Structure 1
């Protein structure tokens, strides 16, 4: 007999298959011929079966862990990072297929007239959550976009061929949708179903993004930045004060280290203290992803943390690593000593062992470009094969909400030390780090961070820089948030810096973790015979016979601030609808 879990999954997949078989993205078509207004949405089971497809709108695992921007260097550089994007003929980012399915439910007469108002409103709230999510991502990518809250008929030329609506109008609609979702969704805690708490987490993310975008992109002349930042604070506070979530601090997980285990734990139920929503994977049901193969195989991009991110981790006593004289020429073993414990729970450092293993492993340059070898999300070696990973993936967690709260209040100028104690302190307490001191941060802004974030100024400059540091470290390799952060902060120029890795002072043999085994050979001239260590020519270092490992040397990265904060619209859509206009400077 099939398990109930299997039956539920197959039912969801069947519905998803129906809705992914439509082919071309015609806004006027019903999502499926078998779902028609007279016959559907007459039971709660109909609502649930239909809305199961919405969960496939969340990003897949590779989007959640596979970030780049300026945090992670890989063997190839994405076009948006290199500044070499082209105007596409077609582009799935511009697709409105998901919106059609959402609006179909919201406009169904059967759904609107369903006899049980509480059930009806719950699923209407779910649909409006996903419409808010849909349009938020569209605005992030394109700015102004056509807003539709109806299912378009084939003869509705006015809507089929409408121009883009202003960003302000679209985002006001997003705010209305997410507020409705917060009011109507279930308040029951769940790591796999969208609830009131998921909606509050999404609102926190949306409003921080929009508020800071409007504050820093002054050229866009978008008003009400403070309104959006205040909405972020309110949503974050409601979630924080609910008592439903807290920072995960248990030490009984796979690695016995709470921060590392938040991502290494196979099932999110074990870290549900902090995880608000995740995406399920299962060995039993053969629903898997590629995370551990990506982090261990030499053919999957060889990801490595970038040097500027590693430099940003504080010392364990809370002092700044970049204040140490000669910090930039310290070799790997020295530079990772006595640092913020999140560093050793994010990359391989001396003494590292795999979960379930005992062998100490140095960074492996066959699988990492920079030498700063990621371990975030890693579990036992069983899952290292191609598409064999089965750990659930985090989509929203309480730690992000705490960071959103602190940043929004700092940007508003209303933050107090008490606010920091309610947010940043909880994250630092988890890994045994001293609290962030607001007065000290503002009295002595970090020049290293200030050189990165050139738009930050004002009385809270030092504090905002520290909150950005905290966010970068805490949220690395999660949900592509770093790209979104650089876009909203108007710091796209950070994408143009060369990617760098470990420092090596001269040609020679190097035991990275001081365990008696040579791990790397830096050589000058002709490549010597292979004796086991990974070999790097001095031409791959930044300063001739010494320096940091340089990755992607053949790629000259650029960023056009007049153009590159948005994506270009596909030419096919511009041709089909003459009222659409291309984003500025994408000509």
Structure 2
């Protein structure tokens, strides 16, 4: 069994068992007798993968405005409160990282030591990036602290210090990590992918939140992205008739495109519940929102929202002639299950009616916690998107840049290329509207408004269900989208509906007495399902929740009150909390 494929779920017995910065490591793990060779450094550092990278369930915790399920995240519902403890303010993983960095000098081989220091710094950068996204300013710790060290209660360091320290760690990682590709282990290309991600996030966050110095981070994103694109040797997976679907509907990550994945294995009992979540009436019923589905272009490259009566088209009609990624992300007319038969969208499984299929394999994996397909953490497609967006925000994007990034994604699914001049000459009104999009793009950009909107469209579609959307909304300062109605499919009437266009009745909507019908699913309007206009309209999700998003505080999370009290109020709470 390849060790690199089991590190995600099995903790090495040599790892520290500690809970926070001031815990003392086990006496059995002595730096004087350990960290002396590559095998010991490798075994110890395996725990970093388990500690830092997200699990498969994270794709459904990142619901934002694109994936609607029940219950709503408190971030989306506007019901967050300041926690007493927890709340993401945990430092145990950082302590383990710093412990390796302090003791790796026990290894005599300098090349080995540099490699594992680089790995540790990659994970420290990853750790702090997540903390910075969540809290903004946080204390920077680059060494192990004892329980009586007064620096345990130091004030938070500035966002700039944190961001720059992350970049310095990543530069070290890029310099010393191996170039050998391994989809389950961090290498130089993973570090470049993370630097690309960090640079885009921080640059756009600063730009749209008015912090300043955005250009430095956007340029760092461009530089890292170009090095990875030009020299990494990763390409898009293009095999078969549905390559986008098949990239995710497979047990083992496709290393042609995926730079790093979290491994799952039925044989090792390392499984997840993603497919069951999409095909069950009891695990949140996630589905795409109508506003997000509206962003998929026609297969000829036209805006769906420019078509007559686009918002009142019923399901079969609205699904006709769309970007092929739509039919490879949700059930659409003509959908056939892998290893199974034809299947219509099931509104008892999808709150909005738009039934997710991304990551879904054969029907037997619908069972609880039986999925074992690997979860992509970094893939070259994201780097293409990062590169194009950063250059557009800098005002330096040209057509050649689009051709080596966005248009490769479109070519994979036989979509027309994005044309820079045309996009900027006619920005999409739907994506600029405050009800459905990002009006501040026009306020912040004079040159590339139209193409930035198109890149955001592409990013949403390409990366849906990959854990990016919530923090994209945060960095774009677009949190007010969470206040808008969460809508689903449109129904012009009550009665029978053939949702897959095969001539059989899939759904019966009714009020009062259940009618006689051959439908496979009956839903009582007002009880099982709510329509926006009573007996017709869009499926309305969470219409009973008065959602609010406070622009003055909700872009950051609050610090737990006990942490502030333990520091004798040296730690300051985030604004508004």
What is the TM-score when the length of structure 1 is the normalising length?
A: 0.94
Q: Distance in 2 between matches of 1:267 and 1:133?
A: 24
Structure 1 spans left out of the alignment, 5+ residues: none
Mapped pair 1:272 → 2:262: no
**How many angstroms does 1:537 deviate by?**
4.1
Mapped pair 1:326 → 2:315: no
Q: Distance in 1 between matches of 2:243 and 2:5?
A: 32
Equivalent residues of 1:31, 1:100 under 8 A apart: no
Taking the TM superposition and a 5 Å limit, the aligned residue runs for 1:562-573 are: 562-573=552-563
Deviation by residue 1:481-521 (Cα, 9 ceiling, x = unmatched): 00010000000001111211100011121111221221222
| Matching residue of 2:274 | 291
Taking the TM superposition and a 5 Å limit, the aligned residue runs for 1:20-31 are: 21-22=17-18, 24-25=19-20, 27-31=21-25
Q: Distance in 2 between matches of 1:100 and 1:6?
A: 24
Mapped pair 1:78 → 2:70: no
Q: Distance in 1 between matches of 2:473 and 2:374?
A: 27
Report the 3-state secondary structure (helix = DSSP H, G, I; strand = E; otherwise coil) of the residue aligned with 1:522: strand
| Matching residue of 1:260 | 245
Q: Distance in 2 between matches of 1:83 and 1:518?
A: 39
Q: Residue 550 of structure 1 is aligned with which of 517, 528, 540?
A: 540
Mapped pair 1:559 → 2:554: no
| Matching residue of 1:183 | 175
Q: Distance in 2 between matches of 1:434 and 1:155?
A: 62
| Matching residue of 2:571 | 580
Q: Residue 472 of structure 1 is aligned with which of 451, 460, 472?
A: 460
Mapped pair 1:483 → 2:465: no
Deviation by residue 1:314-373 (Cα, 9 ceiling, x = unmatched): 00000110000100111100100000000000000011111012x211101121111110
**How many angstroms does 1:534 deviate by?**
2.8
**How many angstroms does 1:529 deviate by?**
6.8
What is the TM-score when the length of structure 2 is the normalising length?
A: 0.95
Q: Residue 431 of structure 1 is aligned with which of 413, 418, 429?
A: 413
Q: Residue 242 of structure 1 is aligned with which of 228, 231, 245?
A: 231
Report the 3-state secondary structure (helix = DSSP H, G, I; strand = E; otherwise coil) of the residue aligned with 1:277: strand
Instruction: Check 1:7–1:556 CA distance in 2 against 1; reply closer, same or farther (3 A cut).
Output: closer
| Matching residue of 1:131 | 124
Q: Distance in 2 between matches of 1:136 and 1:168?
A: 12
| Matching residue of 1:153 | 146
Instruction: Check 1:474–1:14 CA distance in 2 against 1; reply closer, same or farther (3 A cut).
Output: closer
Deviation by residue 1:388-434 (Cα, 9 ceiling, x = unmatched): 10111100000000000000000000000110001011000000000
| Matching residue of 2:184 | 192
**How many angstroms does 1:13 deviate by?**
2.5
| Matching residue of 1:463 | 451
| Matching residue of 1:454 | 439
Report the 3-state secondary structure (helix = DSSP H, G, I; strand = E; otherwise coil) of the residue aligned with 2:80: coil
Report the 3-state secondary structure (helix = DSSP H, G, I; strand = E; otherwise coil) of the residue aligned with 1:13: coil
**How many angstroms does 1:75 deviate by?**
2.3
Equivalent residues of 1:18, 1:32 under 8 A apart: no
Which ranges of 4 or more aligned residues in structure 1 deviate by more than 6 Å? none
Instruction: Check 1:243–1:121 CA distance in 2 against 1; reply closer, same or farther (3 A cut).
Output: closer
| Matching residue of 1:163 | 155
| Matching residue of 1:493 | 480
Mapped pair 1:15 → 2:25: no
**How many angstroms does 1:243 deviate by?**
4.6
Report the 3-state secondary structure (helix = DSSP H, G, I; strand = E; otherwise coil) of the residue aligned with 1:542: coil
Taking the TM superposition and a 5 Å limit, the aligned residue runs for 1:1-150 are: 4-5=1-2, 9=6, 13-15=10-12, 18-19=15-16, 21-22=17-18, 24-25=19-20, 27-56=21-50, 57-64=52-59, 66-91=61-86, 93-108=88-103, 111-150=104-143
Q: Distance in 2 between matches of 1:417 and 1:429?
A: 15
Structure 2 spans left out of the alignment, 5+ residues: none
Equivalent residues of 1:522, 1:538 under 8 A apart: yes
Q: Distance in 2 between matches of 1:574 and 1:561?
A: 23
Equivalent residues of 1:295, 1:302 under 8 A apart: yes
Aligned positions, number:
566
| Matching residue of 1:417 | 399
Report the 3-state secondary structure (helix = DSSP H, G, I; strand = E; otherwise coil) of the residue aligned with 2:245: helix
Report the 3-state secondary structure (helix = DSSP H, G, I; strand = E; otherwise coil) of the residue aligned with 1:541: coil
CA RMSD of aligned residues (A): 1.7
Instruction: Check 1:246–1:379 CA distance in 2 against 1; reply closer, same or farther (3 A cut).
Output: same
Q: Distance in 1 between matches of 2:188 and 2:449?
A: 34
Taking the TM superposition and a 5 Å limit, the aligned residue runs for 1:216-231 are: 216-218=208-210, 222-231=211-220
Equivalent residues of 2:564, 2:572 under 8 A apart: yes
Q: Residue 195 of structure 2 is aligned with which of 203, 206, 209?
A: 203
**How many angstroms does 1:289 deviate by?**
0.6
Mapped pair 1:232 → 2:221: yes
Q: Residue 304 of structure 1 is aligned with which of 257, 271, 287?
A: 287
Equivalent residues of 2:278, 2:349 under 8 A apart: yes
| Matching residue of 2:384 | 402
Report the 3-state secondary structure (helix = DSSP H, G, I; strand = E; otherwise coil) of the residue aligned with 2:440: coil
Q: Which moved more, 1:36-45 or 1:299-308?
A: 36-45
| Matching residue of 2:166 | 174
**How many angstroms does 1:536 deviate by?**
3.6
Deviation by residue 1:281-326 (Cα, 9 ceiling, x = unmatched): 1111111111111111111111111001110000000011000010
Equivalent residues of 1:245, 1:274 under 8 A apart: yes
Q: Residue 338 of structure 1 is aligned with which of 313, 321, 335?
A: 321
**How many angstroms does 1:445 deviate by?**
0.5
| Matching residue of 1:353 | 336
Q: Distance in 2 between matches of 1:65 and 1:405?
A: 26
**How many angstroms does 1:9 deviate by?**
3.9
Q: Distance in 1 between matches of 2:81 and 2:460?
A: 29
